[in-house]
Amino acid sequence: MNTGKVYLVGAGPGDPKLITVRGLECLKVCDVVVYDRLASPRLLQHVKPGTELVYVGKLPDRHTMKQEEINQLLVDLALSGKTVTRLKGGDPTIFGRVGEEAELLYDHGIPFEIVPGITSAIAVPAYAGIPVTHRDHSSSLSIITGHESPDKLDRSIHWDKVTNATGTLIFLMGVAKIGYITEQLIRHGKPPQTPVALVRWGTRVEQQTIVGTLETIEAIVKAANFQPPAVIVVGDVVLQRDKLRWYENKPLFGMRILVTRARAQASELADRIEELGGEPCEFPVIETREPTNAAALETLRMHLEAAESYQWLMFTSVNGVHYFFNFLRRFNIDIRRFHAARIVAVGPKTAEALVDRGLTVEEVPVKFHAESLLETLEGKLKPGEKALLPRGDLARDVLPTELREWGIEPVEIDVYETVLATFQDELALEWIREGGIHMITFTSSSTVTNLLELLRRRGFEDPVKVLDGIPIASIGPITSKTIVEAGLQVTLEAKASTLDSLLEDIIDYNQQRRMQS
């Protein structure tokens, strides 16, 4: 077997969009990803199907894997012929221990590539509104480790030279030694009034920033019980924060939101949460697929072949539109054969999916569920007419039942099936266990029932108890009913059953939460 290759990739400081183009390329081509909690789980969406994911962070039954074990794991995977991407937080060459990993790979004759990443030393201050250089304040900077014991710090850092060597000093991993660091800087000539900032979990929703001076910052850190990991910035550039704190002013800053939609649909909601300053935690609990039963497919084809016989085409989801057109292509059926049918959609997103395919939608209800669609159509349907309903296998019976009572013949075709999703990231499960989720979004009843089922399968004995206390946002009344029946509480329900409305209500919730904190 041929030896594989290892890419040692810097993932950036936490925000998944800060990874480099080359880093993404390595994720897309590899057979195995070895990652830990310092790399965003959203990056794993970019891997090809079937890629093995190896989490080397802390698990309930195992402490964090030791560095020596990770080094050997990379060797073993590569020697088995696999292409491996080792995803590391920040930049792998800045206190990232990449030298140890690369050296062992070299010793075993394994080809490797080091892919730089954006280091937390510059990115974290930037997200706190602190540029590490500034024309008026600093034209140079130093990056220094603060993780060692005081005696080792004294051996590795020449305080007399470092203290005034550059305008800005950046200490990584130095929260526990903040008192000793400030003491040395003052002793070697830094003015006690020099501004200092500590930024914890920078570029993430947990980001916290505290500001003081060399003589006050230790007391501020202790009073706030400020914990690692954090970047320490020393210098006049800290004064820029008052005007430049752009990230912390975003409307969803501070919220990690669990997105439970199908993976194909989750990205839209996740991207919008991210743009608003929140952190989406994609946890797809459902997947959609074409029916596989031969008899069902033949029945579906037969109903589509009767295109000219329908007076109505009724779409109740974007998925219904997508799979309906897939089957038209599969069975070579021209959409123009439905010329006698008037087209209605249950909501604006469904209507938009139809408009994108060149079709005009005649009716969209005020509220976006089957009951409201029926109210909109009342008086416009004539007994004896025939309506085609391209739906999913779990669609409710409200619409076809009421149509029959009106004398309309509903023809239901299951153009897709909804099944349990097959992959959930370990870090997302860890956040659920440890209370790291600040809100859960449910956009359908199936996302509610499937989330609970998936958590049971992943070892949560009482999923309802685990989720109790996490705020829940519901897309609408039907979903809310399922949430309550499952034993959970609805924190907010979208005023209109759309993603826009859901996000507006979540923003209002977060603003109130931040004012109260």
Tokens 């909501």, residue located: 347
Instruction: Quote the tokens at residue 356.
Output: 């994108």
Instruction: Mark whether 255 is an active-site residue.
Output: no
The answer to whether the CB of 432 falls within 8 A of the CB of 455 is yes
The Cα–Cα gap between 133 and 378 comes to: 66
Q: Rounded to 5 degrees, what angle do the CA atoms 103, 109, 112 make?
A: 60
How many other β-carbons are positioned within 10 Å of the β-carbon of residue 386? 16
Instruction: Mark whether 173 is an active-site residue.
Output: yes
The Cα–Cα gap between 391 and 330 comes to: 17
Q: Select from 268, 267, 174 the least CA-distant residue to 221.
A: 174
Which candidate in 5, 15, 31, 36 is catalytic? 36
The Cα–Cα gap between 70 and 97 comes to: 11
The answer to whether the CB of 123 falls within 8 A of the CB of 16 is no
Angle in degrees, 0-180, between the axes of helices 98-107 and 67-79, rounded to the nearest 10: 40
What are the φ/ψ torsions at residue 45 (nearest 5 degrees)? -65, -20
What are the φ/ψ torsions at residue 422 (nearest 5 degrees)? -105, -15
Strands 386-392 and 409-420: parallel
Contacts of 329 (CB under 8 A, 6+ apart): none
The number of helix segments (H) and strand segments (E) in the chain equals: 20, 20
Stated length of the chain = 517
Contacts of 40 (CB under 8 A, 6+ apart): 11, 12, 14, 15, 16
Q: Rounded to 5 degrees, what angle do the CA atoms 16, 17, 22 make?
A: 100
Contacts of 315 (CB under 8 A, 6+ apart): 321, 324, 343, 344, 345, 346, 350, 353, 354, 390
Q: Select from 56, 53, 61, 37 the least CA-distant residue to 459.
A: 61
Q: Select from 4, 25, 191 the least CA-distant residue to 80.
A: 4
**Segment holding 256, helix H or strand E:** strand 256-259
Instruction: Mark whether 314 is an active-site residue.
Output: no
Q: Select from 330, 317, 313 the least CA-distant residue to 265.
A: 317
Long-range contacts of 470-473 (CB under 8 A, 24+ apart): 470/258, 470/435, 470/437, 470/438, 470/439, 470/440, 471/438, 471/439, 471/440, 471/509, 472/439, 472/440, 472/441, 472/442, 473/257, 473/439, 473/440, 473/441, 473/442, 473/502, 473/505, 473/506, 473/509
Residue 74: is it exposed, middle or buried by C-beta count within 10 angstroms (0-12/13-18/19+)?
A: buried
Which candidate in 31, 173, 425, 505 is catalytic? 173
Catalytic annotation, residues = 36, 58, 173
